[in-house]
Amino acid sequence: MATQQIVLASRPKGTPTIANFRFENIELPEVQTGELLLQGMYYSVDPYMRGRMNDVKSYSPPFQIDNAIEGGVVAKVIESKSANFKAGDIVLGALPWRKQMVASEKAVQKIDTGIAPPSYYLGILGMPGLTAYFGLMDIGKPKAGETVVVSGAAGAVGVVVGQIAKIQGCRVIGIAGTDEKIALLKKDFSFDDAINYKTTSNLKAAIAALCPNGVDIYFDNVGGEVSDAVVANINFHARIPLCGQISLYNSTEQPVGPRLQPMLLTRSVLLQGFIISNFQSRFPEGVQHLAQWVKEGKLKFTETIVHGFDQLPTGLLGLFKGENTGKMIVEA
């Protein structure tokens, strides 16, 4: 059957543009034994995908020029030649950006839409939720009464980090880039306070004012000058789960900034870079906790949903402009 796919047309220099993508009409192969024909429902767009657009060794292999972009997708089974799936099942997998696609049964897993709506498996019960859970709990090791600062606080990972930190009894300060996000963090996501870094002239002083006892955990999603301002307030024996550096992903030159090591040294600070696959063997534990908190109403979630398969490149580019609150998803 005929379908449409989105391929990487060229590697971006700096901030990606629509011109780096190309839409193509293709013919899908016949479904073979052990395979499924899928209809894409929800496509995940995530900051880490920027790294895969470069031809650089990293934790995920680079996207290949003229090949379909690949990411987290929730899809419906249209036709099954596997005993484990039937038409109508809802599945999750790392799948190509195609309207319909043929995939091995091993590439997907069934999801339980009784627990949460399907798109949540790309968010709070998926990669961003697990990233928040393991990054905060295993690296941050929050203790009741400690102060936690989260950058990119209104993003898919940030809103979850803040709420889990509150569940652990911490004081939580978020940093985000619009007044709407700041209001939402305090009103809907139980942050104790939040700072708009774009309208705050002295971020270091603003953090100091809201963290009179210093910062015990800094969950870093953004890097750059925002992180410099937080680290300037870091406590002895603080922990920094290093989760994202979105402010630097589109840099065309080596980013330069103050050397942080003297501060990290004299204050005995831990900084740990991590990616979620480091915790793969413990995903069931993470999903169980997250689902329980969602069920108990302790953990809320929000999505920014863009409509239309053809809006996938635009949705991804929107991440770098801070257009999302919570998880950015494209609904086909």
The residue within the footprint of a second copy, chosen from 7, 156, 207, 269 (CB under 8 A), is 269
The residue within the footprint of a second copy, chosen from 67, 257, 280, 282 (CB under 8 A), is 257
Give the separation between CA 209 and CA 317, rounded to whole angstroms: 34
E strands within 59-146?
70-80, 90-96, 100-104, 108-110
CB atoms within 10 A of CB 77: 21
Give the separation between CA 280 and CA 207, rounded to whole angstroms: 34
Token digits of residue 113? 């839409």
- Least gap, CB of 134 to a second copy (angstroms): 12
Q: Give Dmax over CA atoms of the chain in angstroms.
A: 63
- Least gap, CB of 106 to a second copy (angstroms): 25
Q: Is 272 in the site for a second copy (CB under 8 A)?
A: yes
Q: Is 61 in the site for a second copy (CB under 8 A)?
A: no
Q: Is 33 in the site for a second copy (CB under 8 A)?
A: no
Give the separation between CA 124 and CA 326, rounded to whole angstroms: 9
- Per CB under 8 A, the segment of 159-167, 173-181, 184-192, 221-229 that binds a second copy is 221-229
Smallest Cα–Cα separation from 109: which of 160, 38, 6, 157?
38
The residue within the footprint of a second copy, chosen from 25, 32, 33, 254 (CB under 8 A), is 254
- Least gap, CB of 167 to a second copy (angstroms): 25
The residue within the footprint of a second copy, chosen from 22, 267, 289, 300 (CB under 8 A), is 267
Q: Is 2 in the site for a second copy (CB under 8 A)?
A: no
Instruction: Name 70's bridge partners.
Output: 96
Torsion of CA 193, 306, 118, 297, to 10 degrees: 20
The residue within the footprint of a second copy, chosen from 46, 192, 220, 303 (CB under 8 A), is 220
Interface ranges with a second copy (CB under 8 A): 51, 58-59, 220, 223-224, 227, 236, 242-245, 248, 254-259, 261-262, 264-275, 278
